[in-house]
Amino acid sequence: MAKAARQLQSSAAGSDSITVNPYIKELLHLPPRTNLHGHALVKKGDVFMQDLSSCLPVAALAPPPGATVVDACAAPGNKTTMLAARVGSGGRVVAFERSSVRAEALRTTIRKAGAADIIATVEEDFTESSPQDERWHDATMVLCDPSCSGTGDAERSHPSQLAADTRLPREKVAALAADQKRIVLHAMRLPCVRVVVYSTCSVLREENEDVVEAVLREASEWRVAACLPDWPQRGQSAQATENSDEDKAAPSDVDSSSSSSNGANKYSIAAACIRASRAQQTGGFFVCRFEKADSAAGDSASSKSGSKKKKRKKNRKKRKATADKEAEVSTVGNTSAATSFKSERAQEQQSAPKQQQQQGTPQQQHAPHNTSQQPQKKRRKK
């Protein structure tokens, strides 16, 4: 990241410095009007340009290194390659795309990012796939970013057109919402999945919070979870306006005791989900994180069990130390597993260090540019 920032600084507009996004660690902010089109790093695929809002779903999913993740609606591939950077060389990303034309665009993005060894492209409709298929039955996380009205793009690029765009035919919005719900519910049917993130580039409640409520009514074992708790703009309640206090409620304000059995309490949905807008100098976006109810309990039980085992082991060592009259007994803790893609590859291939990659798509000139860290390319053997 530091090396890429130094190389990009010479192209930054004005005297402003390139900064790291406070919410997304692999995202660099470039000053407004910075032009990277034709830059060497962009041509080589070492750096991609992408809007801040479109990086939020991957940050909300937060897959750990080594995870197996499904991208249910992958093309053109910016989020897909960002997922690959997160899971690293020990993980897998299964990318679905039902359109043959868009699937080819997806493969192009994957090749440019050098992530073909991590990402497997499946050219079919995700909702028609078998949850038990051995190619993805062990996936624990799914990213669902389906087709939507695109009204969030209008909010950023053409705010004067937003009012007209939000008056789309009711039948069209209803059809989009039905398809969005169907995709999320199918993701929840995968046997090992415990986390599903749903996102749209829409500002319409019908495609956002209403879809979340509809999903929870049919998936009683799932609940909404706090999504990027430090993000300043939360979701909308049924009665709230964009500037109401309820919209800005932090996840810690959620009263889970007042929620229904499946967590479909309208206030908790608004507080747990996030929205992005021009207030953050980005496009309109919505993100919700679903978690299977047993996963939180399982994590808690595993943590308690692990603590007890550590305590028993420590007591045994103390007794042995006393019996043997040893001067001192010390233990060494495990190193963190949350290593970056770059450091992991560097350890595996020290003889052939590679540059770290970043992802993105061009964004509007009036908003800060962003670049995101991406997987490294493999060096071809000659």
Scanning the structure block, which residue is given the tokens 């049919």?
218
361 burial type by CB count under 10 A (0-12 exposed, 13-18 middle, 19+ buried): middle
Strands 141-144 and 195-200: parallel
Contacts of 19 (CB under 8 A, 6+ apart): 28, 29
Which three-class secondary structure state does DSSP give residue 252?
helix
Cβ–Cβ under 8 Å, residues 287 and 209: no
Q: How far apart are CA 144 and CA 124, in angstroms?
A: 15
> Residue 203: what are its φ and ψ, rounded to 5°?
-105, 0
Q: Give the torsion through C-alpha atoms of 162, 168, 170, 172, to 10 deg.
A: -120
Measured in whole angstroms, the distance separating CA 82 from the mean position of its chain's CA atoms is 8
Q: Which of 201, 227, 273, 288 is catalytic?
A: 201
Give me the residues paired with residue 225 across strands.
289
Task: Please indicate whether residue 273 is annotated as part of the active site.
Answer: no
Cβ–Cβ under 8 Å, residues 73 and 183: yes
**262's tokens:** 């499946």
Q: Where are the strands (E) in the chain, listed by range?
A: 19-20, 27-30, 68-71, 92-96, 119-122, 141-144, 195-200, 222-225, 274-276, 285-292, 357-359, 369-374
Scanning the structure block, which residue is given the tokens 């340009």?
49
The catalytic residues are 201
